[in-house]
Amino acid sequence: MKNNFKIGSHVSISGGLIGAAREAASYNADTFMIYTGAPQNTRRSPIEKLKIEEGHKFMKEHNLSDIVVHAPYIINLASYKEDTYELAVSFLKKEIERTTAIGSDYIVLHPGAYTDKTAEYGIQRIADGLNMVLLPETRPFICLETMAGKGTEIGRSFEELAMIIDKVDLREKIGVCFDTCHTHDSGYDIINNFDNVMEEFDSIIGLDRLKVFHINGSLNIRGAKKDRHANIGADDSNPKGKDMIGFDAIYNIVHSKYAENKILILETPWLDKNTNLYKEEIAMLRGER
Ligand code: FE
Ligand code: FE
Ligand code: ZN
C-alpha cells in the first residue's frame, strides 16, 4: 500500500548519520528523527565525525528523506535563570547549525518550562530567545512541540503555542510538532474528536504551521498531564503498559487528511535494551498488517 505520509522513528546517531540511516532502513522507514547527541546533555561530536555524505548516499539508495532533529531537553528558553537561559540560546544556535549541516529542515523543540515564574513570563522569554537565534537565512523550521502539561511546561495548549509564535519576528521559520501522547495527556480528545481538535488547531495556530507528528500511545487517561509514552495499541500483555489512546484512534490520525504529506515519527518505548517495536508499528500504521 502506498501512503501519502512519511513514517519512521527516533533512531540513534551514535554511528553517525550513516548509522542512523541504516537503523531507519532496518525498520523499513521512510524517514527518521535523531538527537545530535545525548538528549540530556550538550556534549556533541564534531560535525565532521557524523559521516553526513555517506549518510545521504545511503538514504537516497533506501528512499529515506526528511530527517528530523530533536533539540535536547536541557534547552529551557523559558528559564529566568541567566546561566540556563544563555546556555539554551547558545546551544540552540549551534543546534541550528548542526541541523543545517546534516541537511535537515526540521528541529523539534520543547518550548520550555516557566518553573517559579508565570506562563506569561515564560512565553515572552521563549519568544525573545527565538528572536535571538532566528536569522533571515535560517534554513530549518523550529517546530515547537505540543506538550503534555507536566509541571510548568509551556505548550500544553494551542493558545500558548500561538502566543509564542505571535511574538516571533521571523515567524515564517516556526513550525509545530503535534505529539499524540502529549495532546491527549494535556486534555485534547484526539480519540473521539480528532477532527474537531484539528479544526481548533487550525483556527488558533493555523494548519500551515504543522510540519511533524510524533506518533505515540499514552499510558494515561486524557488530561492526566503525565507524558508517558505507550506502544501503539499496546494491551495489558505489553511489559511497558497499556496504550490508553488505542490503535484505532492512532490509525485514524495517521490516515487523516491532516497527516497527508507530513512526517510521522514514533517515540514509543523500547521493550528492553535490545528490542523495540518500530518495524512492527510502522508496518501496522501503514496498513500492512
Ligand atoms: Fe519531544
Ligand atoms: Fe514528542
Ligand atoms: Zn513525550
Give pLDDT, residue 42: 81
Q: Which residues pair with 68 in a beta bridge?
A: 33, 106
Backbone angles phi, psi at 69, to 5 degrees: -110, 135
Look at residues 244, 239, 211 and name the one whose alpha carbon lies nearest to residue 227: 244
Backbone angles phi, psi at 70, to 5 degrees: -105, 125
CA atoms within 13 A on the CB side of 60: 7
**Which ligand is in closest contact with the Cα of 181?**
3
Determine the distance separating the centroid of ligand 1 and the alpha carbon of 108, expressed in angstroms: 7
Ligand 1 (ion): residues with CB under 5 Å are 145
- Structure confidence by residue, pLDDT tens digits, 212-252: 999 999 999 999 999 999 999 999 999 999 999 999 999 99
Residue 3 has pLDDT above 90, yes or no: no
Determine the distance separating the centroid of ligand 3 and the alpha carbon of 7, expressed in angstroms: 18
Residue 182 has pLDDT above 70, yes or no: yes
| pLDDT average, residue stretch 150-174 | 98
Query: Cα angle vertex 27, ends 52, 186, to 5°?
Result: 95
- Binned at pLDDT 50, 70 and 90, residue 282 comes out as very high
Cα separation, 289 vs 276, whole angstroms: 17
Give pLDDT, residue 39: 80
Give pLDDT, residue 70: 97
Give pLDDT, residue 112: 98
What's the first-to-final CA gap in the chain, in angstroms?
11
Backbone angles phi, psi at 96, to 5 degrees: -65, -40
CA atoms within 13 A on the CB side of 160: 28
Whole-number Cα distances in Å, 181 to 41, 52, 173, 274, 277: 24, 31, 25, 23, 17
Angle between helices 16-26 and 52-61 (to 10 degrees): 20
Q: Say how many C-beta atoms besides its own lie within 10 A of residue 21's C-beta.
A: 27
Give pLDDT, residue 37: 85
Who contacts 97 (Cβ-Cβ below 8 Å, separation ≥6)?
A: none
Give pLDDT, residue 289: 58
Ligand 2 (ion): residues with CB under 5 Å are 179, 214
Ligand 3 (ion): residues with CB under 5 Å are 227
- Binned at pLDDT 50, 70 and 90, residue 207 comes out as very high
- Binned at pLDDT 50, 70 and 90, residue 1 comes out as low
